[in-house]
């Protein structure tokens, strides 16, 4: 078992070396492999049995059956090969995901002939099957579980087909220049100093009502719904966004040093959680990582920026204990 | 469009299940007569039930019901196959297995089991029946097998009835060249181990003992005894078509039995201009007798043995059609050897038939020579006897009764009486059983001899001349020898009583029907000779075509044409299909072709999108600008929008508009509007802006 796995690993490694990653891959004879399936081998065995029957009974029609089946076997090679040949696959952009989620790697398939029953997947056994109509590109999404943060390269993509007779499997392993950004897994927990401070500050000053002392800014894309000043909008003054004065004075910082007791990955997970919480509530927040700092801001771009920094911290994931 | 499935344990689609059932029914139907009746009935019920469960999802067979059926069928088949010998048991076993499997059709693996068993059943079927129709049927069986396989591996959304048939047919046709070449050159070796062939062939033809009435019984059958083709394609004259099968030397007063004859070497060294060489294809007869033109000299086939009385016998009973070549002389010169075992050919029972004895005594008193005695007898036959298929029954002193009382009979009666009388008269004689005549088939140039042409004649030993053929029938009814037998006796009720007389009479009266039947028999003859008997022809054929056979030549013969064929198929697969058009594009091509007839410049350039094309057309043909705009808009929607947006009426509208456009273009073309001031397409620009 171990041997088989290592063999498979070696084959994969060989494939990776053989084909440079590309954005568009067209399947040609350099890339298509074709071998009889198990059922195809059983079929050959039956052909052999029929041959024995023909020889022993000197029956020329049994010979004819035997040779017809054998010729069909040969013809099936061409048909199976043709069902994969000329397929053009293109890697599309893939949305970032969190560790533990499935990333949907997206591909566009196009062909100038109808192709049938193509199986696609990162795992040969668990494929998605589709028929392709000529000159009508089809987009497919193939899920892949992400277990590590950072840039994750797409696995070799298996693309194969048994069509038309299942006697042969034609397949190819595609290596695309394609990767997905995996954010740390958000894990709830801990408290944010500044948040607590702000709360205390509010209690101390006390007199000011929250609503009155907000600064209104004109709407910018990415502002959360809850931050929109709906009352102002209802008065006909256009879309305005409430900037929480209370936080503005005491800016929120997600700080690497907030939880020294945690390991690197745990810290990143917690920071990620809070980053999501703040983005959700539309708060202005900044990020402080060792050697890196992102100034407080709001919006989708900012969130992406922060999460990307978290994902790529330390050039990739490290062992939890060493942190 | 896409579905996630686990490919290793794929479920069978309903369409695939249906095709598997169709395949099973088609493949096993011809074998129904060889399997026990109960199995056929059970199978029919089971398959219809399974089909019903596919059509509507009720009536599922309960688990215990399946168990009962499985156990019952297995027990029944085991009992049957232990009793039956040979192939009947095997075929029942296969069919029963496939039937039981059809109840458990769920995964692709189940489908594979059925398909592989069906392949084997299809081949086994040819051990029972090798006729031309059964071969055609075998082709249909193979087609259903391919269809079932195809359905197992295609999506459930595709049509299940005709599309797979078309595709399978293509695949089979593409496989045929390779199959033919393999069939042609695959070396035919003898059986690897001895197999028990089914011995169900009924004994037909002449029997080992001849009693009056035996041969006339054969005239009830029109079945084929054998066919003969001649090396120089010329048959001997009708009166020389005596086919020797066996000789009868021992007479016990009732009938004649086979002589104990010794094996003899072939007389192969005879080189004579009169030598006739021919090939015989004998139908299965379940006996060892073979047919040869009188007088046979040699046969090249190893399965044929020559005997001292000049007959051929097969080394084993003929249970399959066999063919052999032989050579004969029509007139055999006396080789000077004396008669061996003379008393044997003179032996008759001590008493009986006093009148005949008296007649012979009279001849002897008159001092007749052997020739004179024969002449006297034949003259008697000629003057006083009738040749008939339905003579009166003879009892007691049969030969006396025949010679002096009834005076009518068939060839066997005459042969019987002649041989007996000659023996009494001291002339060694024996009866020869065989066939006389044959129908010449002009289309394939062979002679067809049927059972009803069975005949018996006499050979007498004359000192200094050897064995001489004497056919008393020629004395009484010379027309029997010259005229086809069927014409002679077609009005006799006994003639062909076992065959369909209606059909035969029709054939006699309608010339074209007769022609048709001759043609069919010619086809059948070729079928037997070249296909079923190919293992006997292979060496000669290949040598005729390619000279000395060598491995290299055979390999070249295999790889060159097969390689070419595979290349063509490959090209077809990759190229021709790429011309496949989206249905919407067909109209674009039609319009472009129509315009190209008027002016080449109006043809759609390669790489020009339909939108650009319609804009360009609108510039030269402002008369139809509105239609063109609407048309290209519809095209865009149909071709590039999502499937959900492609409503039926959009496509209908598009087709209607295309038709309108074409008729307008035709009208404009007639008026001569098109073709002036045509603007050249700007190809550079188009390639840049081509929509991908």
DSSP A189-229: ----HHHHHHHHHHHHH-SS-TTTTPEEEE--TT--GGGB-
Mutation to test the A interface, candidates B2, B530, B691, most A Cβ within 10 Å = B2
Q: Which of residues 164-193 of B touch A (CB under 8 A)?
A: 167, 171-172, 174-179, 182-183, 186, 188-193
Residues B491, B622: one domain?
no
Arithmetic mean of pLDDT over chain B: 80
Q: Are B332 and B393 in contact (CB under 8 A)?
A: no
Q: Is B455 annotated in the active site?
A: yes
Please indicate, yes or no, if residue B399 is contained in any of the structural domains: no
* Nearest CB neighbour to A125, from listed B8, B149, B570: B8
Name the catalytic one among B88, B214, B471, B521: B471
Q: How confident is the model at residue B308 (pLDDT cuts 50, 70, 90)?
A: confident
* A80: nearest CA partner in chain B: B573
pLDDT of residue B673: 65
* Nearest CB neighbour to B174, from listed A62, A75, A163: A75
Look at chain B and report how many structural domains it folds into.
4
Please indicate, yes or no, if residue B538 is contained in any of the structural domains: no
- What's the 3-state SS for A90-136? EECCCCCEECCCEEEEEEEEECCCCEEEEEEEEECCEEEEEEECCCC
Please indicate, yes or no, if residue B290 is contained in any of the structural domains: yes
Q: Between chains, do A52 and B123 touch, taking CB under 8 Å as contact?
A: no
CA-only gyration radius of chain A, Å: 30
pLDDT of residue B9: 56
Residues B438, B556: one domain?
no
Quote the CA–CA distance of A246 and A281 in Å, as a whole number.
Answer: 14
A129 interaction partners in chain B (CB closer than 8 Å):
2-5, 7, 155
A69 interaction partners in chain B (CB closer than 8 Å):
119, 142
Distance from CA of A281 to the nearest CA of B (A): 37
Distance from CA of B191 to the nearest CA of A (A): 4
Please indicate, yes or no, if residue B413 is contained in any of the structural domains: no
Q: Is B471 annotated in the active site?
A: yes
* Nearest CB neighbour to A163, from listed B2, B126, B154: B154
Residues B47, B78: one domain?
yes
A158 interaction partners in chain B (CB closer than 8 Å):
none
* Nearest CB neighbour to A60, from listed B157, B177, B531: B531
Q: Between chains, do B573 and A125 touch, taking CB under 8 Å as contact?
A: no
Residues B325, B218: one domain?
yes
Please indicate, yes or no, if residue B276 is contained in any of the structural domains: yes
Tell me which residue range forms the domain holding B562: 156-186+550-575
**B22-49 per-residue burial string, b: 16 or more CB within 10 A, e: under 16:** bbbbbbbebbeebbbeebbebbeebbeb
Distance from CA of A56 to the nearest CA of B (A): 4
Question: DSSP assignment of B378-406, as one string?
Answer: HHHHHHH-EE-SSPPP--SSHHHIIIIII
Quote the CA–CA distance of B648 and B627 in Å, as a whole number.
Answer: 20
Distance from CA of B642 to the nearest CA of A (A): 10
Residues B334, B243: one domain?
yes
pLDDT of residue B168: 93
Residues B178, B67: one domain?
no
CA-only gyration radius of chain B, Å: 38
| pLDDT tens digits, B12-67 | 888 889 899 999 999 999 888 888 888 889 888 888 888 888 877 666 777 888 88
Name the catalytic one among B309, B400, B413, B455: B455
* Nearest CB neighbour to B193, from listed A56, A128, A130: A56
Q: How many percent of chain B have pLDDT more than 70?
A: 84
pLDDT at B169 over 90: yes
Q: Between chains, do B146 and A49 touch, taking CB under 8 Å as contact?
A: no
Q: Which of residues 70-109 of B touch A (CB under 8 A)?
A: 108
Residues B319, B337: one domain?
yes
Name the catalytic one among B88, B110, B400, B411: B411
Q: Which of residues 566-625 of B touch A (CB under 8 A)?
A: 566, 569-570, 573-574, 577-578, 580, 582
A58 interaction partners in chain B (CB closer than 8 Å):
188, 190-191, 320, 535
Hey, is the C-beta of B142 within 8 angstroms of any chain A C-beta?
yes
- C-alpha dist (Å) from residue B91 to A61, B57, B202, B531: 17, 32, 21, 24
Average pLDDT for consecutive 10-residue bins of chain A (323 residues)? 63 76 80 93 96 89 95 94 89 88 88 86 83 82 87 87 92 87 87 58 43 55 62 69 52 81 86 88 85 85 89 64 31
Question: At B263, which helix (H) or strand (E)?
Answer: strand B263-264
The pTM assigned to this predicted structure is: 0.69
Q: Is B411 annotated in the active site?
A: yes
Residues B558, B591: one domain?
no
Residues B600, B510: one domain?
no
Residues B141, B234: one domain?
no
Distance from CA of A33 to the nearest CA of B (A): 16
Please indicate, yes or no, if residue B359 is contained in any of the structural domains: no
The least confident of A259-263, B149-153, B334-338 is B334-338
Residue B308: name the closest of B348, B255, B263 by CA.
Answer: B263
Please indicate, yes or no, if residue B391 is contained in any of the structural domains: no
Q: Are B205 and B454 in contact (CB under 8 A)?
A: yes
pLDDT at B257 over 70: yes
* Nearest CB neighbour to A135, from listed B7, B171, B582: B582
Residues B324, B459: one domain?
yes
The three-class DSSP label of residue A89 is strand
Hey, is the C-beta of B303 within 8 angstroms of any chain A C-beta?
no
A164 interaction partners in chain B (CB closer than 8 Å):
149-150, 153-154, 167, 171
Distance from CA of B47 to the nearest CA of A (A): 24
Residues B116, B161: one domain?
no
Please indicate, yes or no, if residue B197 is contained in any of the structural domains: no
């Amino acid at each position: 078992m171990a041997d088989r796995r290592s063999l498979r690993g070696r084959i994969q490694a060989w494939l990776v070396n053989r084909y440079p990653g590309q954005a568009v891959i067209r399947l040609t004879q350099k890339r298509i492999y074709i071998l009889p399936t198990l059922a195809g081998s059983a079929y050959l065995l039956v052909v052999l049995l029929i041959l024995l029957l023909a020889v022993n009974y000197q029956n020329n029609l049994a010979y004819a059956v035997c040779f017809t089946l054998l010729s069909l076997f040969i013809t099936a090679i061409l048909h199976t090969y043709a069902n994969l040949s000329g397929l053009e696959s293109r890697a599309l952009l893939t949305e970032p995901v969190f560790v533990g989620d499935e990333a949907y790697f997206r591909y566009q398939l196009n062909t100038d002939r109808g192709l049938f029953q193509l199986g696609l997947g990162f795992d040969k056994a668990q494929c998605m099957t589709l028929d392709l109509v000529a000159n009508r590109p089809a987009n497919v999404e193939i899920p892949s579980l992400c277990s590590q943060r950072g840039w994750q390269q797409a696995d070799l993509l298996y693309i194969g087909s048994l069509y038309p007779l299942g006697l042969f499997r034609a397949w190819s392993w595609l290596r695309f220049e394609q990767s997905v950004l995996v954010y740390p897994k958000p894990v709830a927990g801990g408290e944010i100093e500044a948040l607590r401070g702000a709360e205390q500050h509010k209690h101390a000053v006390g007199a000011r009502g929250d609503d009155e002392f907000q600064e209104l800014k004109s709407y910018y894309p990415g502002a959360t719904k809850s931050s929109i000043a709906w009352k102002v909008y209802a008065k006909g003054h256009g879309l305005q966004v409430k900037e929480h004065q209370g936080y503005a004075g005491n800016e929120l910082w997600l700080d690497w040093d907030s939880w020294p007791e945690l390991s690197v990955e745990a810290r990143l997970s917690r920071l990620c959680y809070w980053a999501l919480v703040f983005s959700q509530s539309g708060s202005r927040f900044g990020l402080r990582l060792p050697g890196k700092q992102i100034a407080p801001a709001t919006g989708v771009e900012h969130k992406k920026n922060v999460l990307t920094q978290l994902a790529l911290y330390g050039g990739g994931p490290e062992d939890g204990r060493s942190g | 469009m896409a579905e996630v499935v686990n490919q290793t344990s794929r479920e069978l689609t309903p369409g695939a299940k249906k095709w598997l059932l169709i395949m099973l029914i088609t493949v096993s139907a011809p074998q129904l007569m060889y399997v026990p009746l109960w199995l056929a009935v059970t199978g029919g019920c089971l398959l219809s039930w399974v089909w019903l469960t596919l059509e509507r999802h009720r009536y599922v067979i309960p688990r215990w019901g399946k168990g009962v059926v499985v156990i019952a069928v297995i027990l029944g088949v085991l009992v049957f196959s232990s009793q039956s010998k040979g192939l009947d048991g095997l075929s029942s076993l296969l069919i029963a297995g496939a039937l039981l499997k059809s109840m458990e059709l769920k995964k692709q693996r189940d489908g594979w089991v059925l398909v592989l068993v069906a392949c084997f059943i299809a081949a086994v079927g040819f051990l029972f029946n090798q006729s031309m129709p059964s071969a055609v049927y075998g082709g249909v069986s193979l087609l259903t097998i391919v269809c079932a396989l195809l359905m197992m591996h295609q999506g459930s959304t595709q049509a299940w009835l005709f599309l797979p048939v078309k595709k399978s047919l293509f695949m089979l046709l593409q496989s045929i060249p390779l199959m033919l070449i393999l069939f042609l050159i695959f070396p035919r070796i003898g059986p690897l181990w001895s197999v028990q062939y089914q011995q169900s062939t009924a004994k037909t033809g002449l029997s080992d003992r001849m009693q009056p009435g035996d041969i006339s019984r054969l005239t009830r059958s029109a079945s084929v005894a054998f066919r003969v083709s001649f090396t120089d394609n010329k048959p001997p004259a009708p009166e020389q078509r005596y086919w020797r099968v066996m000789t009868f030397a021992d007479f016990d007063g009732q009938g004649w039995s086979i002589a104990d004859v010794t094996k003899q070497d072939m007389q192969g060294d005879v080189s004579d201009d009169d030598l006739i060489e021919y090939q015989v294809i004998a139908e299965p007869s379940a006996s060892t007798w073979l047919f040869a033109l009188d007088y046979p000299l040699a046969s090249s086939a190893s399965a044929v043995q020559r005997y001292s009385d000049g007959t051929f016998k097969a080394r084993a009973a003929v249970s399959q059609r066999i063919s052999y070549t032989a050579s004969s002389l029509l007139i055999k010169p006396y080789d000077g050897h004396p008669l061996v075992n003379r008393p044997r050919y003179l032996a008759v029972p001590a008493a009986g038939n006093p009148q005949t004895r008296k007649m012979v005594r009279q001849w002897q008193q008159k001092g007749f020579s052997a020739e004179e005695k024969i002449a006297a007898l034949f003259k008697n036959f000629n003057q006083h006897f009738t040749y008939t298929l339905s003579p009166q029954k003879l009892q007691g002193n049969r030969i006396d009764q025949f010679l002096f009382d009834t005076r009518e009979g068939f060839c066997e009666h005459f042969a019987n009486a002649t041989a007996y009388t000659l023996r009494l008269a001291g002339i060694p004689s024996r009866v020869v059983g065989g066939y006389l005549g044959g129908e010449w088939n002009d289309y394939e140039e062979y002679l067809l001899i049927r059972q009803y042409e069975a005949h018996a004649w006499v050979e007498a030993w004359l000192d200094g001349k050897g064995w001489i053929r004497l056919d008393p029938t020629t004395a009484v009814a010379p027309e029997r020898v010259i005229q086809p037998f069927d014409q002679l006796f077609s009005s006799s009720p006994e003639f062909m009583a076992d065959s369909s007389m209606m059909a035969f009479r029709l054939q006699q009266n309608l010339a074209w029907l007769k022609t048709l039947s001759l043609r069919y028999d010619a086809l059948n003859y070729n079928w037997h000779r070249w296909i079923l008997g190919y293992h006997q022809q292979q060496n000669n054929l290949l040598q005729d075509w390619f000279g000395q056979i060598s491995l290299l030549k055979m390999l070249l013969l295999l790889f060159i044409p097969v390689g070419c064929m595979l290349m063509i198929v490959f090209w077809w697969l990759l190229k021709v299909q790429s011309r496949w058009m989206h249905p919407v594009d067909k109209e674009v091509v039609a319009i472009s072709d129509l315009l190209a007839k008027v002016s080449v410049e109006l043809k759609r350039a390669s790489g020009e999108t339909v939108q650009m094309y319609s804009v360009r057309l609108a510039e030269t043909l402002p008369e139809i600008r509105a239609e063109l705009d609407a048309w290209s808009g519809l095209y865009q929607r149909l071709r590039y929008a999502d499937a959900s947006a492609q409503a039926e009426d959009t496509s209908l509208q598009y087709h209607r508009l295309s038709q309108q456009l074409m008729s307008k273009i035709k009208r404009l073309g007639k008026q001569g509007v098109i073709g002036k001031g045509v603007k050249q397409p700007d190809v550079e620009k188009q390639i840049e802006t081509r929509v991908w």
